Amino acid sequence: MIVTLIIVCEIGFWVLLAAGLSVRYLLKMPRAGMALLLCEPLLEVVLLVATALDLKNGADPSWEHGLAALYIGYTVGHGHRTVKWLDGHAAHRLTGAPKPAGPPRYGMARAWHEGKVWFGTLIGAAVATGLLQLAMWYVGDPSRTGSLESWQYTAWRVAGIHGLIALTYAIRLKQPPSGTRVTSGAEKEKEKEKEITRR
């Protein structure tokens, strides 16, 4: 049941996102579109309540409950960034707004970017760990909660691996190919403004 609900929530996330962006830009109803986008967190609330009820009704804690906690943690840590990225590209495609700047590709700017993305994973791991701990306290029987505890370790293993990958960008700064001019974010914005003016 929980796995099915996770799949439904994931599909619902993309359906609500597509509906929100369509209403926001195609139908030119920004407030209604934003309202739809703000409904996204309700999916995680539904999943959280369903997981708690499943445990309350006597279900043994299993990998499904652990996966639900990790899914909610991921959404908390990375959901906003995903929605913002897609919103920027929808505005560019549908209204002719300037194309959102991509992540920095070289140097310390890229290292900082990777660090911020990793911070989202860190937040996700913390949220998942907290939810799993609450579930363990809720069940109140250590002999039945071993699977939930193992998911806590999984969350921090993922965060640790991602952290090591992000750290490599700071230890070994990626350099642009020789002869390539690297522009800052401010310079990119000025170039976009000039391009719009020329049009």
Query: Which residue range forms the structural domain that includes residue 157?
Result: 2-198
pLDDT value at 55 more than 80: yes
pTM: 0.79
What's the total number of domains in the chain?
A: 1
Which residue from 161, 7, 159, 177 is spatially nearest to 74, judged by alpha carbons?
A: 159
**Which run of H or E residues covers position 158?**
helix 146-171
Is the pLDDT confidence value at 160 over 90? yes
**Taking 50 as the threshold, does the pLDDT of residue 165 lie above it?**
yes
Q: Dihedral (C-alpha) 102, 104, 109, 114: value to the nearest 10 degrees? A: 80
Helical pair 2-21 and 30-38, crossing angle rounded to 10 deg: 170
Which pLDDT value is given to residue 154? 95
- C-alpha separations of 182 from 104, 115, 154, 179, 196 in Å: 9, 20, 38, 9, 21
Q: What is the pLDDT of residues 126-159, one digit of tens each?
A: 999 999 999 889 888 888 888 899 999 999 999 9
